[in-house]
């Protein structure tokens, strides 16, 4: 039985699974809303789960994100405080190009960050989107939750909120590497006008590039005013050229795939059974300025329910926005699925809803990856990916220390086969 058959079988067996899990089966289990199964907090074995950024980047310090978070959780720190302190490590690490300081910038070369967090026992959440100038958006997201009754602040308003709280605002969160890669992307996306990245760095662009009607440029950039009847075509051309140029940089080994869509999601449970989660990212590299992905949106890039568990994600955010995937996976766990089956069923939903030709590879399958980190209230974890069974890994930290575990993939091969 392949993975897809397995998921189908699992879905059919949902009511049985719910019964096994001690939940009252609901008549609408297959199609409709399900009454929440309230599980009382019970002692749990502490564990933290994240993607590999949570284990590989230490910013020159002694601990990775999962180690820092696990230590905090087991020393009695609030679970969310511990997780956020953990992800602050890769957020501040200039060599991690998918998060915080040094994250790959948007099409205008500006680093715009997204983050959200959810506190299971307190049942509150906060997020920020398109935030500029602050290397630790997760701390701002937590402040939104702690200090306001709002859930999401964006752009200039989010920055002003952070400034008022004393966060340091940097002029530019680019590192030399992220800037250099952005220039290379510009050269690839618009080779007629961006011939030499070094020349551009010295401010010596080619004459006429602003006025050339064939120039491929991000929507909103430049100084033109008034309606441009050709704007839809230009935007479409830009979107296609941008993605193609970005993926060619991944194929050429200039950017790790994990940094093109780079995020850290980190979820944890303490000995009392309290579950929290945080997601933080610079989002899709070279995105249209203002683009917000799934990471700051509750239910898309993160969802936590203290009765059920936590699910977060990395990968093509638009797929999670469309499917509200993290919420879906938590709901499937609520109905009785284990984290592995819930993750697989969610991936299957994404695969089924991916129908546009520009999102499909030669095999008719999604030409992108999406990965989920699932933590059940029981402490059981799973890492699932559309692609990359056994070859790609996620991170966990337990009392035995931090370790990498292989993802379970839904589909064979790679997104661009
Ligand atoms: N999901 C993020 C986004 O689309 C990026 C990522 O996870 O790599 O913004």
Atom nearest to 98 CA in ligand 1: 8
Domains contained in the chain, number: 1
Say if 266 falls within a structural domain.
yes
| Domain assignment present for 249 | no
- Provide CB contacts within 8 A for 291, sequence distance 6+: 106, 112, 130, 283, 284
Distance 24 CA to ligand 1 centre (A): 36
Specify the higher pLDDT residue, 266 or 222.
266
Residue 261 pLDDT exceeds 50? yes
From the CB of 293, is ligand 1 less than 6 Å away? Answer: yes
- In-domain check, residue 346: yes
Q: Is residue 19 in some structural domain?
A: no
Catalytic residue among 263, 279, 280, 354: 263
Residue 72 is inside which H or E element, if any? helix 65-74
CB atoms under 10 Å from CB of 137, counted, come to: 35
User: Does the annotation count 263 as an active-site position?
Assistant: yes
Q: What is the CATH number of the domain that holds 354?
A: 3.60.20.30
317 lines ligand 1 (CB under 6 A): yes
- Among residues 168, 270, 287, 163, the alpha carbon closest in space to that of 221 is found at 287
- Reported as a single tens digit per residue, the pLDDT across 372-386 is 999 999 999 999 999
pLDDT for res 269: 98
- Model confidence over 40-84: pLDDT tens digits? 566 789 999 999 999 999 999 999 999 999 999 999 999 999 999
165 located within any domain: no
DSSP helix/strand/coil, 90? helix
Q: What is the pLDDT of residues 181-231, one digit of tens each?
A: 998 898 888 776 555 545 555 554 443 344 454 555 666 555 455 567 777
Q: Is residue 188 part of a domain?
A: no
Residue 361 lies in a domain: yes
- State in Å: Cα 263 to ligand 1 middle: 6
315 lines ligand 1 (CB under 6 A): yes
Tens-digit pLDDT profile for residues 156-190:
999 999 999 999 999 999 999 999 999 889 888 87
Q: Can you give the pTM of this predicted structure?
A: 0.85
The alpha carbon of 320 and the centre of ligand 1 are apart by a number of angstroms equal to 9
290 alpha carbon to ligand 1 midpoint, in Å? Answer: 14
Q: Is the CB of 309 under 6 A from ligand 1?
A: no
In terms of residue numbers, what domain contains 295?
3-14+68-156+258-411
- Specify the pLDDT at position 203: 54
Per DSSP, helices labelled H in 190-230 are: 197-201
200 inside domain? no
Mean pLDDT to the nearest integer, 258-265: 79
């Amino acid at each position: 039985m392949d993975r897809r058959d397995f998921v189908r079988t699992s879905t059919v067996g949902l009511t049985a699974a719910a019964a096994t899990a001690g939940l009252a089966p609901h008549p609408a289990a297959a199609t409709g809303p399900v009454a929440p199964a309230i599980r009382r907090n019970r002692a749990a074995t502490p564990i933290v789960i994240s993607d590999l950024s949570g284990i590989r980047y230490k910013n020159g310090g002694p601990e990775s994100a999962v180690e820092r978070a696990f230590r905090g959780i087991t020393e009695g720190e609030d679970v969310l405080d511990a997780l956020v302190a953990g992800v602050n490590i890769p957020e501040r690490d200039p060599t991690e190009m998918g998060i915080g300081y040094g994250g790959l910038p948007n099409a205008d070369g500006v680093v715009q960050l997204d983050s959200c967090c959810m506190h299971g026992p307190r049942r509150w959440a906060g997020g920020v989107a398109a935030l500029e100038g602050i290397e630790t958006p997760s701390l701002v997201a937590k402040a939104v939750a702690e200090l306001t009754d709002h859930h999401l602040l964006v752009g200039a308003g989010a920055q002003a909120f952070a400034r008022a709280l004393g966060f340091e605002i940097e002029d530019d969160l680019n590192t030399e590497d992220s800037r250099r890669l952005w220039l290379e992307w510009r050269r690839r996306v618009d080779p007629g006008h961006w011939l030499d990245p070094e020349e551009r760095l010295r401010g010596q662009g080619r004459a006429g590039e602003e006025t050339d009607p064939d120039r491929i440029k991000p929507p909103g950039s430049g100084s033109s005013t008034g309606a441009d009847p050709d704007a839809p075509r230009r935007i479409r051309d830009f979107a296609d050229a941008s993605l193609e140029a970005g993926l060619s940089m991944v194929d050429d080994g200039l950017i790790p795939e994990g940094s093109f869509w780079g995020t850290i999601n980190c979820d944890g449970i303490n000995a009392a059974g309290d579950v929290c989660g945080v997601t933080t990212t610079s989002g899709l590299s070279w995105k249209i300025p203002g683009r917000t992905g799934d990471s700051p949106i509750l239910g898309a890039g993160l969802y936590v329910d203290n009765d059920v568990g936590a699910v977060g994600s990395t990968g093509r955010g638009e797929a999670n926005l469309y499917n509200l995937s993290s919420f879906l996976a938590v709901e499937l766990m609520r109905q009785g699925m284990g984290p592995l089956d819930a993750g697989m069923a969610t991936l299957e939903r994404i695969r089924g809803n991916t129908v546009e030709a520009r999102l499909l590879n030669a095999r008719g399958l999604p030409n992108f990856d999406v990965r989920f980190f699932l933590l059940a209230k029981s402490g059981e974890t799973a890492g699932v990916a559309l692609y990359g069974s056994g070859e790609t890994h996620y991170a966990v930290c337990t009392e035995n220390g931090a370790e990498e575990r292989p993802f379970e993939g839904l589909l064979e091969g790679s997104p661009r086969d």
